[in-house]
Structure 1
Amino acid sequence: MDGSGRFHALTARDAGLVGCRTCTRVNEAGAERCVRCGERLASRDPTSMQKVWAWWIAGLLFYIPANIWPMLITSTVGRAEEATIIGGVIDLANLGAYGVAFIVFFASVIIPVGKFIAIAWLALIVRKPHGHKPGPLLHLFEFVEFIGRWSMIDVFVVAILAALVQFDLLATINPGIAAVCFALSVIFTMLSAMSFDSRAIWDRIETIADD
């Protein structure tokens, strides 16, 4: 950072190097494939933003029905009851299981919505030169990548309940269509985060520094 508050970062590209997106090995800029894993090298992914938004939209389209359609279908003595994600959280809270209700709500609502917002915000920021510090942006991106897998807690709970209650002759629990939609939404948002080329954060800061 210079006296004007602008960042002047020496990137691998400026140093004649290119990092492998698969194994993170630093290679010479002229190399076509990584010397460690053999993956094809590219200083930047020109289609990164297109893939980010494509996976993001797909994840959002599946997340909406995941919250509307039933997540669990419980059958007891010929009577079937359906429960959505929010309905399940309310039922758990009414039973006094506030801790479990909070965990399900956090993993099924807070984390997915936060991921959608964070990915979209990062993708919009790197479209043009920005004055944000790269450290917090990179930490946010790494957090989104790390936390994404924990959204599957709700799906795991449904799978475990369905497996256990099948042994009961009086009641059965089956996953609803929302479980499939939710799992697909989580997968698509994870792919959206993985498609984001974090090096674009530094490119836009370089653009400001060169102005």
Structure 2
Amino acid sequence: MLLVAAALLYVPANLLPVMKIHFLGQVGQPLTIIGGVLDLWRDGAYDVAFVVFVASVALPCAKFIALAGLLLSVQWRTGFARLERARLHRFLEIIGYWSMLDVLVVGILGSLVQFQALGEIEPGAGIFLFGGSVILAMFAAHSFDSRLIWDAAEASSTPS
């Protein structure tokens, strides 16, 4: 259920703006995650755009797919690649925190850029949904019992 809830929050998190930038009294375009990546890319900040894309788009999507695969493999009691699946689970637990990069960046920018005469950055609804999605995905990874990988394989190999 945690994984489903995380995936459901992830969709509007990418559709709603994560921040709004006001510069010199003018309200700029609200930025979504992908919009921010595209703006960074257009401005020539290819390395930053790549890091934000990986941490905010590729990593969460890959984590959803990998966790769903682990859950299905345990449900179907498959015995293939048990060691690799256990390693994948450990890896998912470790990298889960990197998806909070966007939330950290918006929080830092929002607190540092508060000069109302020059500019202001305010967080949008998308960043809160994204943070919720990341937290739920981390809970989903931590609540998965990797011993089930081994138990399911042993149960399917013992004769009845």
What range describes the TM-score normalised by the shorter chain of this pair? over 0.9
Summarize deviations over 1:14-53 as a string: whole Å, max 9, x none.
xxxxxxxxxxxxxxxxxxxxxxxxxxxxxxxxxxxxxxxx
- Alignment-mate amino acid for residue 48 of structure 2: V
Match of 1:96 in 2: 44
Match of 1:83 in 2: 31
Is 1:70 aligned to 2:17, yes or no?
yes
How far apart are residue 168 of structure 1 and its match?
5.4
Structure 2: distance between partners of 1:105 and 1:130: 33
Structure 2: distance between partners of 1:178 and 1:79: 18
Match of 1:51 in 2: none
- Alignment-mate amino acid for residue 21 of structure 2: T
Summarize deviations over 1:168-193 as a string: whole Å, max 9, x none.
52110011000100000000011111
Is 1:128 aligned to 2:76, yes or no?
yes
Summarize deviations over 1:151-208 as a string: whole Å, max 9, x none.
0001111111111111352110011000100000000011111111111111111123
Structure 1 runs of 4+ off > 2 angstroms? 78-81
Q: Show the 5 A alignment for 1:87-166.
A: 87-166=35-114
Per chain length, whose mean CA-contact separation is higher, i.e. which structure has more relative contact order (CA < 8 Å, sep 6+)?
A: 2
Is 1:199 aligned to 2:147, yes or no?
yes
Please list every run of 5 or more consecutive structure 1 residues that lacks an aligned counterpart in the other structure.
1-53
% identical aligned pairs: 46
* Secondary structure of 2:115's aligned partner: coil
Matched pairs, number: 158
Q: In terms of Rg, which structure is larger?
A: 1
- Alignment-mate amino acid for residue 8 of structure 2: L
Structure 2: distance between partners of 1:97 and 1:91: 9
Please list every run of 5 or more consecutive structure 2 residues that lacks an aligned counterpart in the other structure.
none
Is 1:174 aligned to 2:104, yes or no?
no
- Alignment-mate amino acid for residue 150 of structure 2: W
